Amino acid sequence: MGGFFCGIEKGAAVVNRVFMFIASVMMAALMLIVCVDLTLRYFFNSPLVWATEVTEILILYITFLGTAQVFKENSHVVIDIFLVAGSERRRRILGIVSNTLVGLVSAVLIYYGFLAAYNHYARGVFNPTILETPIWLILVIIPVGCVPLFMEVLVKGRRTLGPEKRE
């Protein structure tokens, strides 16, 4: 069974590296678009009509592309008052509860995200904006970004539930 989780961990690491690179490129594009849009808006009174829509989509993509890496590094927002004031046993139990909740939420987002994205794809629904972006292109990043998150939950869960380290 250790080989299975080792494979998941390696797969998640590769996907996270690729996703973080893509998110970095998107962040650079986002900054460029915003700077150009502001310059055009305030100096030439002629903003980019598509900039707001594109930046909204980029923010969504950046968020979900980075979710698994943030979870892996424990870089997310944490209310640690229960962890600091608690015993090792309490930290372990809260870690298991937290990991379970993240796993459940990511599983739900994967399942319903793919259903919603496919539904919008099959029906050909478009966003009624200047770019007329297909809605499925906006929605598909939610389940795609949650797949490596779920993989990280499995890896972290295995570590948390694995044999306790003795000193």
Q: How many distinct structural domains can be found in the chain?
A: 1
154 within some domain? yes
CB distance 150 to 17 below 8 Å: no
70 within some domain? yes
CB distance 149 to 165 below 8 Å: no
CA-to-CA distance for 20 and 30, rounded, in angstroms?
Answer: 15
State yes or no: pLDDT of 167 exceeds 60. Answer: no
166 within some domain? no
167 within some domain? no
Residue count (the chain): 167
**Residue 117 belongs to domain spanning:** 2-161
32 within some domain? yes
pTM listed for this prediction: 0.85
At 26-59, the pLDDT tens digits run: 999 999 999 999 999 999 999 999 999 999 999 9
| N- to C-terminal Cα separation, the chain | 25
80 within some domain? yes
At 56-110, the pLDDT tens digits run: 999 999 999 999 999 988 877 666 666 677 777 877 888 888 889 999 999 999 9
49 within some domain? yes
State yes or no: pLDDT of 15 exceeds 90. Answer: yes
CA-to-CA distance for 138 and 105, rounded, in angstroms?
Answer: 19
Distances (CA, A) of 19 to 62, 104, 120, 130: 9, 22, 24, 28
The token pair at 153 is 């939950």
118 within some domain? yes
Long-range contacts of 29-37 (CB under 8 A, 24+ apart): 29/58, 30/55, 30/58, 30/59, 30/62, 33/58
Strand, helix or coil at 134?
Answer: strand
- Indicate the residue type of 129: T
Extended strands (E) in 9-118:
none
Lowest mean pLDDT among 4-13, 14-23, 123-132: 4-13
